[in-house]
Amino acid sequence: MALSSTSRTLLALQNGETDIDVAKVAAIREAIARGDIKIDTGKIADGLLASAQELLR
Read off the pLDDT band of 12 (50, 70, 90).
confident
Q: Is residue 23 part of a domain?
A: yes
The secondary structure of residue 38, as a DSSP letter, is -
Q: How far apart are CA 28 and CA 7, in angstroms?
A: 23
To the nearest whole percent, how much of the chain has pLDDT over 70? Answer: 95
Domain residue limits at 41: 7-56
Q: How confident is the model over 17-38, as pLDDT tens digits?
A: 767 788 999 999 999 999 999 8
- Structural domains counted in the chain: 1
- Domain for residue 16, yes or no? yes
Look at residue 42 and tell me if it is in a domain: yes
CB 32 within 8 A of CB 39: yes
Q: Is 2 part of a structural domain of the chain? A: no
Best CA proximity match to 18, nearest among 9, 29, 5: 9
